[in-house]
């Protein structure tokens, strides 16, 4: 009982700080400090102990902050583990309106959670001194699968928007639409660069697509948004700016180089991009 009370105390306090932080950017340090604590408490509680609706609600409220913290620290997020993913999937509800527990939203965010391990996996595979073709192929296939799944999730989202285009949409859903659409484009942009790193033959076409996504992300910044939108919009702007800033490097003609030299250039190019996105911010959930 004492452990349950401690868990509820910490997570309730962190949720309160998270809510206020969304409205007050100056509280970043306090917010990060408490998210560190609640992330550890949730992890030690284990997925099997989130049984009641209230407990699942507390878990759900911390998915975004826990994932964002792992990304900022360039660490794999424990929420990507199958048992945590099953818990997250169990939160899906069938509702006419788009909510944080709608299937399209949770499926999309589950894919985004995979970015936490994908980034270090890509960096490990992009080793100029110890090329491992088997490791590269494994990571590339995983990236292609996630890239395709993200596109499918976006199509499902667009279908919902079209289906409800004649209905009156509450402000809460409009805010959620803006958030998940921007986050999906941002994540897709990063996956374009991942695939371009592994496949030289597709690099220039993928870069065209990445630049189009970056431009669209910056267009989104001019649209009306909720007061708390700075949390995800700042990350969107950061990633879009990095993609545009590094455009020439990713469009560089390497046709005169040999395969080994091209691979070394690709590895260095990826590592610089990876450092940039961790400085500027990566997608939140």
* pLDDT tens column, 57-109: 989 988 888 887 787 777 788 999 999 999 999 999 998 899 999 999 999 99
**Maximal CA-CA distance, the chain:** 68
By the 8 A CB rule, do 213 and 188 touch? yes
Q: Which of 70, 91, 112 is the last residue of a domain?
A: 91
For the ranges 44-58, 146-160, 161-175, the one whose mean pLDDT is highest: 146-160
**In the predicted model, what is the mean pLDDT of residues 31-35?**
58
Residue 261 pLDDT: 94
- The structure's pTM equals 0.85
Q: Which of 69, 91, 113 is the last residue of a domain?
A: 91
Q: Which of 66, 91, 116 is the last residue of a domain?
A: 91
User: Is 77 in the same domain as 99?
Assistant: no
User: Is 252 in the same domain as 123?
Assistant: yes
Work out the pLDDT band at 137, boundaries 50, 70, 90: very high
Q: Of 41-45, 115-119, 135-139, 218-222, give the lowest mean pLDDT range.
A: 41-45
User: Is 171 in the same domain as 253?
Assistant: yes
Structurally, the chain folds into a number of domains equal to: 2
User: Is 24 in the same domain as 103?
Assistant: no
The phi and psi torsions of 224 (rounded to 5 degrees) equal -60, 140
pLDDT at 161 exceeding the cut of 80 = yes
User: Is 86 in the same domain as 37?
Assistant: yes
Residue 84 pLDDT: 95
User: Is 203 in the same domain as 239?
Assistant: yes
User: Is 199 in the same domain as 158?
Assistant: yes
Residue 33 pLDDT: 56
User: Is 155 in the same domain as 226?
Assistant: yes
pLDDT in tens, 200-209: 999 999 999 9
**22 Cβ partners below 8 Å, 6+ apart?**
227, 228, 231
Residue 3: give the domain boundaries: 1-91
How many angstroms separate the CA atoms of 75 and 52, rounded? Answer: 30
């Amino acid at each position: 009982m004492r452990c349950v009370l401690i868990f509820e105390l910490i997570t309730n306090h962190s949720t309160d700080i998270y809510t206020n932080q969304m409205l007050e950017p100056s509280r970043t340090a306090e917010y990060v400090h408490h998210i560190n604590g609640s992330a550890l408490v949730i992890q030690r509680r284990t997925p099997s102990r989130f049984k009641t609706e209230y407990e699942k609600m507390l878990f759900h409220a911390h998915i975004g902050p826990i994932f964002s913290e792992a990304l900022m620290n360039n660490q794999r997020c424990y929420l990507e583990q199958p048992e945590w993913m099953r818990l997250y999937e169990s939160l899906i509800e069938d509702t006419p309106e788009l909510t944080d527990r709608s299937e399209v939203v949770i499926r999309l965010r589950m894919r985004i959670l995979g970015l936490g391990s994908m980034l270090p996996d890509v960096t490990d595979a992009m080793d100029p001194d110890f090329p491992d073709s088997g490791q590269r192929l494994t990571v590339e296939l995983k990236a292609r699968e996630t890239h395709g799944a993200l596109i499918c999730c976006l199509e499902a989202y667009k279908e919902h928007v079209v289906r409800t285009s004649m209905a009156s949409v509450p402000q809460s859903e409009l805010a959620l639409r803006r958030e998940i659409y921007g986050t999906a484009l941002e994540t897709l942009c990063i996956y374009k660069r991942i695939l371009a790193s592994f496949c030289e033959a597709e690099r220039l076409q993928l870069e065209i697509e990445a630049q189009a996504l970056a431009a669209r992300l910056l267009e989104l910044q001019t649209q009306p948004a909720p007061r708390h939108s700075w949390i995800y919009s700042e990350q969107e702007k950061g990633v879009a700016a990095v993609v545009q800033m590094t455009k020439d490097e990713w469009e560089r003609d390497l046709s005169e180089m040999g395969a080994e030299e091209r691979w070394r250039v690709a590895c260095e190019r990826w590592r610089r991009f990876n450092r940039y996105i961790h400085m500027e911010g990566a997608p939140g959930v």
